[in-house]
A and B are shown apart, each in its own frame.
Chain A
Amino acid sequence: MLKRNQLVLGNKTLRDVTNDICEPIERIPSKGWMGLFLAAKGLFIFYILTIAVVISTGMGLLGVNHPVAWGTMIITFVFWVGIGHAGTLISAILFLFRQKWRTSVARTAEAMTVFAVMTAGIFPLIHTGRPWFDFWLFPYPNQRGPLWVNFRSPLLWDVFAISTYATVSTVFWFVGMIPDLATVRDRAKNFWRQRIYGVLSLGWKGTAKNWSHFEMIYLILAGLSTPLVLSVHTIVSFDFAVSGLPGWHTTIFPPYFVAGAIFSGFAMVITLMTLVRIGFPKFKDYITIDHMEVMNKIIMMTGLMVGYAYGAEFLIAWYSGNIYEQYVFFVSRAFGPYAWSYWIMICCNVVIPQIFWFKKFRRSIPVMFVVSIFVNIGMWFERFVITVTSLHRDFLPSNWGQYAWSMYDTAILIGSFGMFFTIFLLYLRVFPAISIAEIKPVLGVGRDDHEHGGGH
């Protein structure tokens, strides 16, 4: 039988594992962390101010206009929702498939999901013309007749999809963390630390009964999360696909969006993991090159799927015989005024990931870091291409126009990274970034092959 590489390097004992993983949250933060945190926090505050100005003055500050009524906020919303997908895929689907390599990246990927969905969730709320009435988007009993929301609108489905996803992935993430939080609590030497982690660990005692319940609930939540991985981005894609706009009205959108989401999500995981490996060198033993390579393979595969979708859109546009759709794909996307964004997208998403055909590059940290950044850029541009190039030239040529990009668009886009990284950096300092409870079973401690150093 094929011998697999060790999932955890460095001949760790169980005690080493606990020490290594708990160390970042128990020591004084390093200068590197402080620097990154201050930068991210500054950006986050800038982001909050920008949003405040936009809400108090009007959406007109951004480049959205007639005909391009959706812009940076919706693009970046879809971008962040997409990022979130890899986390749930790793923690839920790979769990159900008993992929043991997932254990060391699952926690952080899942955290990334929660934070990405938080970052994304802000956008639909602030992109409306009157954000103070956003609560009207929720169906609640009221005295206006009662006046209900329009259940036919994909935007409403979005409200449900995103809120469900946010809730389930947060619960899943938190529940998975309970045994580790108990570990932190038990190691705590400080009164408040003990209290806080004590409350968070929900009275975990580590009894067999505890473990039995835990495994059960974790399995159920994994089962619940799995369809969400597919449904959320499917419904996000409905925002576009259900409308009648050429370039949006495409049946391929749900799978295409899901593949794109996983693609971008894994790229973000790679970006973050390389950073974590640099920031916490000890984690290199847990998040090994093997882990990274597996994820790079997924990136390459989903990249090909996305590339296939790009091609299929052209095929269908041609096959449909619809002149408006043909115009969008054959003229305005590839050769119109926004052709540059289209070709950035193709380059970053389809061409560059092909480098992972070579094992050498798949296993090179600098290469994969650069590729993952390109994929992130490419996936943002994919949403830009879908949103802007479809809207800017539709049915009646007299309406055609351009997106009026302003400095507020830039501020919103950059600022959202400030929010994400602020939360993510705090997470690294507060919660065990790798699941202690899940790593220990894959160590092989106490197994035959561990002692004898050979397989059968």
Chain B
Amino acid sequence: MSINNDANEQRPKSTEVKIERDRNFWKSFDELYDTPEYKKAVETEFMSSPLRDEFKDEGTSGFARREFLKLMGASVALTTAAGCIRRPVQKIVPYVKQPEEVTVGVANYYTSSYFDGQEGFGLLVKSREGRPIHIEGNPSYPLNGSAVSVRAQASLLSLYDPARLQKPFRNLFNEKRTNKETVGVTWEDLDTKVVAQLQKGSVAVLTGNIVSPATNAVIGDFCSGFKAEQYSWEPLAYGDTVEARYDKAKVIVSIDADFLGSWGSAITSNRQFANGRRDPSQMSRLISFESTYSLTGANADIRHRIKPSQQLDVVLGLISLVSGGSTQVHETLGISAEAFQKVAEDLKNNRSKSIVVAGGVQTQTVDAENLQIAVDHLNSILGNHGNTIGARSNMKASYQSLNSLIKAMNQGSVKTLIIYRQNPLYTLSKSFGFHEALNKVEMVVYVGDVMDETASFSHYVATDNHSLETWSDSEFSRGLYGIHQPLIRTMYDTRSFQLSLMTWAYMAKVGPARIQNYETFYDYLRAFIKSDIAPKYAKGQDFETFWNQLLQQGFVGQVGSLVSKATSGSISNIKKSSKSANMELVMYAKSHIGDGTLANIGWLQELPDPVSKIVWDNYASISLKAAEKLKLKQNDVVELTVGDVTLKLPIHIQPGLHDEVVAVAVGYGRTKAGEVGNGIGVNAYPLAQVGQNGQPILAGQNVEIKKTGKKYELVTTQGHDSMEGRQIVVQATNKDFQKSKEANIHRHHVWSIWSGHQYNGHKWGMSIDLNTCTGCSACMTACQSENNIHVVGKKYVMQGREMHWIRIDRYYVGSPETAQAVFQPITCQHCDNAPCEVVCPVAATVHSNEGLNEMIYNRCVGTRYCSNNCPYKVRRFNWFNYAKLIQSPTHMSLNPEVTVRTRGVMEKCSFCVQRIKVAKQKATQENRLLKDGDVKTACEVACPTQAIVFGDLNDEKSRVAQIFTNEKRAYTLLEEWYAKPAVRYLSKIRNNDEVTAPKGAGHA
């Protein structure tokens, strides 16, 4: 044999090597007397090898000399060898001046904040070499903790969006204000023109909700200087002036309020909701009456389907039952008297520990105001105000404000309109008359960063910084003050909104001294904090200490106590004005697309809708019965007519929907969002009507459906909606759970003739609690951002080629009318007996000594046998060279710690192995062993309900090991297949007081 035998010796058994020495010659006394120190020194001299057991070296930070020399020699050799191969020369330049806080290759984390118009988060943004690459929640932040919404995470991509404007622009119009041409201008030019116009007076500023006290101060200063009027409005603003404490409630009744998905502070609500249900023996109950199929309905213990026009009936019915009367409402609702009575009983039995909420686009019917009055009333007779529910004061946006702006514009009393990041020309239907009114304004100045539908009809676009480029602050909740740090210097020639206002005030010499004096908004902010914030929060600290603490911690203060909500009207005056229609329209917002602002982000478009699992489209959802009645099938294109507006939309048959409801999502059909978002879906906002008081009506309108005979392919990532009687998601009720904690879990007797792998160091494992998982999908985006996962587009999702490493399977249980939805996040299960490892011919997927199923991308030739043999089908294949399609500057968002996969290789969840490595390095540096919680996967961090727990199974005290050994609800998926996954699921409990009928014949 000519093969070097030494090479086969993979692991030098250094500890066993006996070194025979010649005692005649000695170098030191230690050697002569063979002291223990000397023995040790001799042993370690030959110990280092790149193949050594990693676990052994943890906690010893000494750098082995031989290893150092070896590696250095190898790298020199490699450099020499690389010189011989012809490769394109790509020069990298080191820092000429190394920034003090940057160590190349080591990530920095900065606190910041994010606000999307409804919900705000304290952030911890990961930055590598000056580029923000991953957004997480600030773990100590009282509202969201480490969790963040899908949109907040995806806002990272909007920073690197090629469609983002790079300098200020001017639009040239003809007489009719059409036929425009866009030209770039300089800031000096823009400022001169805008200031000259502003000095004419009659200025209006249109903003959304603003939760930044400093920004509000700037706007206030600006308005006082120019005698301007501020209007605030958000397209989806309605009924979100409520602050609820879902963790304190025992019974939650939601009337079309999607508080877990698209309405209000959804992530905070998810967190609180899950905290109230973490222990199944005393979990809260969620009862949902809804006209769409929202995430809230999907997670409800008891769900009743209603029409939008019945929302008020439900509340009025409950009011009369709770206050001891009787009602016949259940008949109109088609719900049994007992079931309806039960809801009232539950509420009555939990006075001051219940919550009744209604809100969101779905409740913007003709009766919307009455509905709020009724809900307030119901909460007050239940004594919930101040206990579980209160007012949220920072949500000022309203349609009243917008209407008064339109009125002012029509009266000609607005000469200059500054629009800050609102898109009324897209989000308002024609009946509001916004566009006509806008034409009467002499100059429209748009402050935003995309040439969107509204920006292209404004005279000047004062291009705003991205949120990650801006200093700011936040006050999401009373008493909780947060800082908003920029993560990167402005990439282009842009200027923040605040600085624009400051500059204009300075040039016109108007307004209070502070708006004129400071050169940047940063200076303004610091001064503002010094004068307005520090006195309240600093508790006697000097300002610099306070400032540093604020930056480091990200916030000061804590969530204040609930403020009772003032009842907005009297219950006795309520008169229902809506009439029930044969077919009612209900519009809703999807939790990830929202109002459509972020439509140009591929991550969001390719993220499946949490319930329908459809990507890249919106559609008209109807029930199966309605479809049969109208002779419609999935993907049939229909014409929806509301009043005089007609839209063409494909049909999606949604189980669990009311038979007389058509549900359509807003936020689609953008025409000027950018390359990705343009023309995705159909814009449903035009279907909105204007009520008598100018209020928008987005739900409950009579809608006519006409079949067109055309087809349009809707694409879903969920192959099949039923579990086919298999043990996949185990669901039990609270009654079942009382009887047995492992109710409905069928355990399999499995055995093997092989003893299995031995894990002497760590053994990584994960548990996923299906009871707290709400299906919000934050984990999917977190994974996508962390692991550089590509977006493939609708066409390829249709062919089954989406790349998500973690997906959330959604199954329906029950009949098509009453279908319950259950969710199950699926990642690579990191099986101990991994079927994929056996069949790979080139050993590209192998088992690590820590139980990870590792995918070696550069060894993979792409036979795809592993995917075929994977019972969970979690592997994703690079069918094309997706990496080539990443446009500049989007490549800057890539995580340098994770390989960007090339064409033709398989990829899959790695349990965030890069995070494990970083944590180990850190532990080694700090000369300690890894402890539980040091390693958190991206999905675990982002999960608002903390359903995912990751850790070391060999560490008995770790959270995950505790769950594996003690939790009776834990089961492994496809246990009988004996792949021995390292992931366990905890069964879902529905708190609905029912008893699951025992299954017929069990299977082996």
Partner of A57, one of B802, B841, B880: B880
In the bound complex, what is the Cα–Cα distance between A133 and B860 (angstroms)? 9
Partner of B861, one of A136, A244, A245: A136
User: Chain B residues near A244 (CB, 8 Å)?
Assistant: 835, 869, 871, 977, 979
User: Chain A residues near B865 (CB, 8 Å)?
Assistant: 69-70, 153, 155, 239, 243
- Does A382 make an interface contact (CB < 8 A)? no
Task: Determine if A399 and B719 form an interchain contact, defined as CB atoms under 8 angstroms apart.
Answer: yes
Task: Determine if A155 and B796 form an interchain contact, defined as CB atoms under 8 angstroms apart.
Answer: no
A60, A134, A137, A398 pick with most chain B CB within 10 angstroms: A398
User: Chain A residues near B93 (CB, 8 Å)?
Assistant: none
Q: Which residue of B lies closest to A153 (CB)?
A: B841
A64, A129, A137, A404 pick with most chain B CB within 10 angstroms: A129
Task: Determine if B809 and A396 form an interchain contact, defined as CB atoms under 8 angstroms apart.
Answer: yes
Task: Determine if B720 and A128 form an interchain contact, defined as CB atoms under 8 angstroms apart.
Answer: no
Task: Determine if A243 and B868 form an interchain contact, defined as CB atoms under 8 angstroms apart.
Answer: yes
Task: Determine if B841 and A156 form an interchain contact, defined as CB atoms under 8 angstroms apart.
Answer: yes
Partner of A64, one of B826, B864, B902, B906: B864
Min CB–CB distance B614 → chain A (angstroms): 14
- Does B726 make an interface contact (CB < 8 A)? yes
Task: Determine if A401 and B862 form an interchain contact, defined as CB atoms under 8 angstroms apart.
Answer: no
- Does A152 make an interface contact (CB < 8 A)? yes
User: Chain B residues near A147 (CB, 8 Å)?
Assistant: 843, 859
- Does B711 make an interface contact (CB < 8 A)? no
In the bound complex, what is the Cα–Cα distance between A130 and B906 (angstroms)? 11
User: Chain A residues near B726 (CB, 8 Å)?
Assistant: 323-324, 395, 397
- Does B7 make an interface contact (CB < 8 A)? yes
User: Chain B residues near A251 (CB, 8 Å)?
Assistant: none
- Does A180 make an interface contact (CB < 8 A)? no
- Does B38 make an interface contact (CB < 8 A)? no
- Does A148 make an interface contact (CB < 8 A)? yes
In the bound complex, what is the Cα–Cα distance between A321 and B1001 (angstroms)? 11
Q: Which residue of A lies closest to B717 (CB)?
A: A398
Q: Which residue of B lies closest to A156 (CB)?
A: B841
In the bound complex, what is the Cα–Cα distance between A146 and B7 (angstroms)? 7
Partner of A141, one of B3, B719, B722, B864: B3
Q: A58-B881, A321-B1003 are in contact. Are A129 and B864 (CB under 8 A)?
A: yes
Partner of A150, one of B842, B864, B873: B842
Task: Determine if A60 and B723 form an interchain contact, defined as CB atoms under 8 angstroms apart.
Answer: no
Min CB–CB distance B979 → chain A (angstroms): 8
Question: Which residues of chain A (384-427) have a CB below 8 Å from chain B?
Answer: 391, 393-402, 404
- Does A66 make an interface contact (CB < 8 A)? yes
Question: Which residues of chain A (136-168) have a CB below 8 Å from chain B?
Answer: 136-137, 141, 145-150, 152-156, 159
Task: Determine if B722 and A69 form an interchain contact, defined as CB atoms under 8 angstroms apart.
Answer: no
Partner of A130, one of B861, B875, B876, B979: B861
Total chain A interface residues with beta-carbon distance under 8 A: 56
A147, A393, A394, A399 pick with most chain B CB within 10 angstroms: A399
- Does B80 make an interface contact (CB < 8 A)? no
Min CB–CB distance A344 → chain B (angstroms): 23
A65, A134, A394, A404 pick with most chain B CB within 10 angstroms: A65
- Does B512 make an interface contact (CB < 8 A)? no
- Does B767 make an interface contact (CB < 8 A)? no
Q: Which residue of A lies closest to B2 (CB)?
A: A141
Task: Determine if B877 and A397 form an interchain contact, defined as CB atoms under 8 angstroms apart.
Answer: no
User: Chain B residues near A323 (CB, 8 Å)?
Assistant: 725-726, 1003
Min CB–CB distance A64 → chain B (angstroms): 7
Min CB–CB distance A19 → chain B (angstroms): 51
User: Chain A residues near B798 (CB, 8 Å)?
Assistant: 404
Question: Which residues of chain B (867-922) have a CB below 8 Å from chain A?
Answer: 867-869, 871-873, 875-881, 902-906
User: Chain A residues near B904 (CB, 8 Å)?
Assistant: 58-59, 128-130
Q: Which residue of A lies closest to B979 (CB)?
A: A244
- Does A63 make an interface contact (CB < 8 A)? yes
Task: Determine if B801 and A60 form an interchain contact, defined as CB atoms under 8 angstroms apart.
Answer: yes
- Does B334 make an interface contact (CB < 8 A)? no
Task: Determine if B861 and A396 form an interchain contact, defined as CB atoms under 8 angstroms apart.
Answer: no
- Does A11 make an interface contact (CB < 8 A)? no
Task: Determine if A242 and B859 form an interchain contact, defined as CB atoms under 8 angstroms apart.
Answer: no
- Does B799 make an interface contact (CB < 8 A)? yes
Q: A66-B873, A321-B1004 are in contact. Are A58 and B903 (CB under 8 A)?
A: yes
In the bound complex, what is the Cα–Cα distance between A402 and B801 (angstroms)? 11
Min CB–CB distance B931 → chain A (angstroms): 33
Min CB–CB distance B978 → chain A (angstroms): 9
Min CB–CB distance A401 → chain B (angstroms): 4
In the bound complex, what is the Cα–Cα distance between A145 and B876 (angstroms)? 28
Question: Which residues of chain B (806-837) have a CB below 8 Å from chain A?
Answer: 807, 809-811, 824, 826, 835
Partner of B835, one of A69, A70, A243: A243
In the bound complex, what is the Cα–Cα distance between A404 and B810 (angstroms)? 23
Partner of A404, one of B719, B800, B841, B860: B800
User: Chain B residues near A13 (CB, 8 Å)?
Assistant: none
Task: Determine if B725 and A396 form an interchain contact, defined as CB atoms under 8 angstroms apart.
Answer: no
- Does A364 make an interface contact (CB < 8 A)? no
Q: A130-B904, A245-B868, A394-B871 are in contact. Are A65 and B801 (CB under 8 A)?
A: yes
Q: Which residue of B lies closest to A68 (CB)?
A: B800
Question: Which residues of chain B (99-156) have a CB below 8 Å from chain A?
Answer: none
Partner of B872, one of A127, A391, A395: A395
In the bound complex, what is the Cα–Cα distance between A401 and B811 (angstroms)? 15
In the bound complex, what is the Cα–Cα distance between A321 and B800 (angstroms)? 30
User: Chain A residues near B661 (CB, 8 Å)?
Assistant: none
Min CB–CB distance B7 → chain A (angstroms): 6
- Does B840 make an interface contact (CB < 8 A)? yes
Q: 0/1 per residue, A313-332, Cβ < 8 Å to B?
A: 00000000111100100000
In the bound complex, what is the Cα–Cα distance between A148 and B904 (angstroms)? 21
Q: Which residue of A lies closest to B727 (CB)?
A: A323
In the bound complex, what is the Cα–Cα distance between A100 and B841 (angstroms)? 43
In the bound complex, what is the Cα–Cα distance between A315 and B798 (angstroms)? 36
- Does B488 make an interface contact (CB < 8 A)? no
Q: A397-B723, A399-B873 are in contact. Are A154 and B839 (CB under 8 A)?
A: yes
User: Chain B residues near A57 (CB, 8 Å)?
Assistant: 880
Min CB–CB distance B917 → chain A (angstroms): 21
Task: Determine if A397 and B862 form an interchain contact, defined as CB atoms under 8 angstroms apart.
Answer: no
Question: Which residues of chain B (703-757) have a CB below 8 Å from chain A?
Answer: 718-726, 728
In the bound complex, what is the Cα–Cα distance between A57 and B903 (angstroms)? 9
Partner of A128, one of B861, B879, B977: B861
User: Chain B residues near A444 (CB, 8 Å)?
Assistant: none
Task: Determine if A155 and B868 form an interchain contact, defined as CB atoms under 8 angstroms apart.
Answer: no
Q: A69-B877, A130-B903, A141-B3 are in contact. Are A397 and B799 (CB under 8 A)?
A: no
Q: 0/1 per residue, A104-145, Cβ < 8 Å to B?
A: 000000000000000000000001111101101100010001
User: Chain A residues near B810 (CB, 8 Å)?
Assistant: 398
Task: Determine if B861 and A145 form an interchain contact, defined as CB atoms under 8 angstroms apart.
Answer: no
User: Chain A residues near B719 (CB, 8 Å)?
Assistant: 67, 393, 397-401
Give 20 A-B pairs besides A60-B879, A396-B871, A396-B872 with Cβ atoms closer than 8 angstroms.
A58-B879, A65-B800, A66-B873, A68-B800, A69-B865, A69-B867, A70-B864, A130-B905, A136-B859, A137-B861, A146-B7, A153-B839, A155-B863, A156-B841, A393-B720, A395-B974, A396-B728, A396-B973, A398-B826, A402-B800
What are 27 A-B interface contacts by the 8 Å CB criterion?
A58-B878, A66-B875, A70-B868, A128-B863, A129-B878, A129-B904, A130-B861, A137-B841, A146-B3, A148-B843, A149-B841, A150-B840, A153-B838, A153-B840, A155-B839, A243-B835, A243-B839, A321-B1003, A323-B1003, A324-B726, A395-B726, A398-B718, A398-B720, A399-B872, A399-B873, A401-B800, A404-B800
Residues of A within 8 A of B (CB): 57-60, 63-70, 127-131, 133-134, 136-137, 141, 145-150, 152-156, 159, 239, 242-245, 321-324, 327, 391, 393-402, 404
Q: Which 10 A-B pairs have the closest CB atoms?
A: A129-B862, A129-B904, A60-B879, A400-B719, A397-B720, A398-B809, A65-B800, A69-B864, A130-B904, A399-B873
Residues of B within 8 A of A (CB): 3, 7, 718-726, 728, 796, 798-802, 807, 809-811, 824, 826, 835, 838-843, 859-865, 867-869, 871-873, 875-881, 902-906, 973-974, 977, 979, 1003-1004
